[in-house]
Structures are given as structure tokens and as C-alpha cells.
Amino acid sequence: MPRNMSFMLTTVQIKNKSKTVTRRLGWWFLNPGDIINACEKCQGLKKGEKIKKLCQIRIVHTRKVLLCNMEPLDYVKEGFPQLDNDEFIKMFMKEMKCDYTAFVNRIAFEYV
């Protein structure tokens, strides 16, 4: 049974399939070929709320990288073409409460 992964900040990008990379501070156990349920929200649900599954994704590859060492144009793959790498990194640090030099799991995926 596939695990659920939250895409609360990028629900629109998942729905329109413009996002093919995500960065996480965890999920180190993922392997290529794993199927994941992309969900709107997985934690912090209010009483009566249910997990909304958006679609399924297949993991293509994962890589441990420094947040500050983003590949050129990775912000586009993350679903934020309006940002540049530095703007994306600042947004990520604010949302995830991490440092510029944090190790993150760069997860590339495709839609099932």
C-alpha cells in the first residue's frame, strides 16, 4: 500500500503536473520505483477532515544534497518558475525552518 506524502504548499503544481522534483528534510527510505500517494495534506487534519489524495507518483531517483547547491532551473522542476534558485531556497528555509546548509533529500518523480 503506497505511503502518503503531503504537497500542501504545491497542490496546484501537483494538480497541473508542473512539479517533478520535491525536496524533503526526510524520506531517506525512498527507492526508485516506489509509488507514493501525493496528498493535499497528511498531518494536522482537523476533526472530521480526511486526507485528500491528488494522484500517484513514482519515484525516479533520490539524492542527498545541500539545499544551497540547487541545480540550475530546479526551481522550475519544483513548480516555481516565477522564482530563481535563491528565492526558492529562501522560501524553503522559511517554510521548513531550516538553514541554508541543510542536507535535503532531492526526490525526482513522475506521474503514474
Query: Using the 8-state DSSP alphabet, how is residue 1 labeled?
Result: -
Whether 54 shows a pLDDT value over 90: the answer reads yes
More confident residue, 106 or 1: 106
Q: What does the pLDDT read at residue 45?
A: 76
φ, ψ for residue 9, nearest 5 deg: -85, -15
In 3D space, the residue among 12, 80, 11 whose CA is nearest the CA of residue 41 turns out to be 11
pTM of structure: 0.93
Distance CA 45, CA 42 (A): 7
**What single string gives the DSSP state of each residue in 36-70?**
EEEES--SSPPTT----EEEEEEEEEEEEEETT-P
Q: What are phi and psi of 14, to 5 degrees?
A: -70, -45
pLDDT band at 100 (very low <50, low <70, confident <90, very high): very high
pLDDT tens digit sequence for 42-52? 877 788 888 99
Question: Domains of the chain by range and CATH?
Answer: 3-111 (3.10.400.10)
**Average pLDDT, integer, range 22-30:** 97
